[in-house]
Amino acid sequence: MVTAYFDKLRDDNDHTVYTEELITDVLNKIDLAQYEEVTDMPSSVVKDMLAEITSNLAPRLDNNQEQEILDFFEEILVEGKTEIPIIAKSLRYLLREDKSNKSALIVVDVQNDFISGALALQNSEEVVGVINTILEEHEFAGVFYSIDWHPEDHCSYITNVSKYNVDKTSPKSADEAQMFDKVIYNERKVLEQVMWPVHCQQGSEGAELHPDLNVVEGGMKIYKGQIPNVDSYSAFWDNGKLSRSELLGHLFDMDITHVFTCGLATDFCVGMTSLDSAEHGFDTFVLMDASRGVADESIDEMKAKMEKAGCELIDSSQIAEKMG
């Protein structure tokens, strides 16, 4: 794993503080921005970059290590474009001196429309009390609340399907599509889209977090689904990975190692957030008793995907032991 390689860069005599500013200066010095996409970056640049950042403490990279680092960079970028700020954050995170466990809780979409409104899920209000208890009993380094925040012309609304380019491969045309059908859009990218009722519209009461949910001091709200022509289930990315929220950068800044997810819905937004968390290398735990889903079949499918990706499906009573 790439993290194991970075662990080797520090030894007992290395007490360099690898700040984001220091790393950004190095990235600018070697003119990393000249490479529009990470895939354009020669492996020699990776070698030079790490040697410069670590003051020549880095051992010689083999081809596999070079590729692992390039792959890591590619996963955190938007459409492969080289973004110096997020690369600097990730390198600072990988080279941090304090490797102790730090946990974050991501509360996914516990909003009125998913509890008592347009897309109310069965027994969904039960998660509010469980999440509040979790927040009372455990101290997290970071708490995040993701919020669906759709414009009125959002592509997920059944009322808007005719406004978007439905691909010829779609199982349903714009005229045929009904609520909860899947269509295939061909907008910025060919993507499958479930047709939902109007929900979580920006500024509406339905888009607000449930009034009984404990929003802790210092908790951060992550707004998603704001781009009209692509949906966003995950709190990290939109569904086409065309844009990224600020969540990943915050997790790097806080030196988070363990991510706990919960909320609504298990088979969609909780699941996709968990998959992205695991993909980015965080130890990821899905709190099943603090989550509710749309349908048994899709819940089972998502649970299988999450477990395959390395997520652990646990009960909130196991949080303390998993925090380490």
Domain 103-152+199-323: what homologous superfamily? Isochorismatase-like (3.40.50.850)
What pLDDT digit, counting tens, does each position of 36-70 carry? 999 999 888 988 888 888 876 667 778 888 888 89
**Per-domain residue ranges of the chain:** 2-94, 103-152+199-323, 158-195
Q: How far, CA to CA in Å, does 201 sit from each of 98, 175, 191, 229, 237?
A: 41, 23, 22, 14, 19
SS3 309: coil
Determine how many CB atoms are found less than 10 A away from the CB of residue 97.
11
pTM for the model: 0.95
Which residues are annotated as catalytic? 109, 224, 269
The distance of Cα 176 from the centroid of its chain, to the nearest Å, equals 33
pLDDT at 236: 98
What is the per-residue burial (b if ≥16 Cβ within 10 Å, else e) of 245-265? Answer: bebbbbbbebbbbbbbbbbbb
What pLDDT digit, counting tens, does each position of 113-134 carry? 999 999 999 999 999 999 999 9
Residue 10 has pLDDT above 90, yes or no: no
Q: Distance (Å, rounded) from C-alpha 215 to C-alpha 143? A: 9
- What mean pLDDT, rounded, does the chain reach? 94
